[in-house]
Amino acid sequence: MQTVTLSNGVEMPILGFGVYQIPPEETERAVSDALAAGYRSLDTAAAYANEEGVGRAIRSSGVPREELFVTTKLWVSDAGEDKAKRAFDTSLRKLGLDYLDLYLIHQPYGDVYGSWRAMENLHGQGLIRAIGVSNFYPDRLVDLIDRNEVTPAVNQVETHPFYQRTADQELMRKRGVQIESWGPFAEGRNSLFTDPHLSKIAAAHGRSVAQVVLRWLIQRDVVVIPKSVRADRMAENLDVFDFELTDDQMVAIAALDTGASLFLDHRDPAVVSQLGNYALTT
């Protein structure tokens, strides 16, 4: 598996398995299938309500803990120094782990700075190998970097052919932050899987559109965490390291960028209010 080296020297697989929108009752089976297929990076979140299923799959897999890279995320209702520490303990307990490889602030709302202090402390204790953020636009990311000792190792943001984040990625690179894609397939929006440009490239390589999208992200040095509940698709998504897109093909995909989110604009006041006031039930 190809890896990226985070700013603190930790190696992270460039391709992992995400469990967003996988129901809790299906999570253990899906993650078990993913681990059997060869995935070693797993991405979950407190807000997904399926950390326990991820943990059960890890325990039953027989895969040594040191071979895994496990990420989870802190939700807004648990923001703040004291609450973040308690939320971290809860996630660790649900996952059944002694430490996390990556812990992210899920949304750029609430007491982000209190949460970051807690995460810096947990990182200093060796309970988290790397800390980062998710859904931070450049202004919020730079402000967080400039006012704290530890720079976020990762920023997980919506990134796909229709919203490519190239300028954001360049800023992150300069600031020592690794970009990670959520929603790499745009959940099929804009007819991604039948897009004629992507389909033409896929046919040229004898691959699927999904494989072309993952390969495009990997060639851009973007960490990616596709989700599937089908074992055959999991295997297909992993099979992207033995071909390479040409420069012309990369340019053709670059032309698909709309420069706008297909999901949520985290700078929209309505979105800020909606997400910022959503409390998890435990």
Burial of residue 191, with CB atoms counted within 10 A of its CB: 0-12 exposed, 13-18 middle, 19 or more buried: exposed
Helix, strand, coil shares, percent, the chain, to 5: 50, 15, 35
Rg (CA), the chain: 18
Contact between 93 and 64 under an 8 Å Cβ cutoff? The reply is no
Q: Out of 48, 103, 109, 163, which one is annotated catalytic? A: 48
Residue 45 contacts by C-beta under 8 Å, 6 or more apart in sequence? 20, 51, 72, 73, 75, 104, 106
Task: Output the CA–CA distances (angstroms, integers) from residue 108 to 38, 116, 123, 136, 202, in the order listed.
Answer: 32, 11, 20, 6, 36
Contact 267, 274 (CB under 8 A): no
Structure tokens at 13: 């697989």
CA 212/CA 210 separation, integer angstroms:
5
Distances (CA, A) of 57 to 1, 63, 194, 219: 21, 10, 33, 30
Contact status, residue 106 vs residue 47, Cβ threshold 8 Å: yes
Q: Is 48 known to be catalytic?
A: yes
Q: At what angle do helices 112-124 and 138-146 cross, to 10 degrees?
A: 50
Catalytic site positions? 48
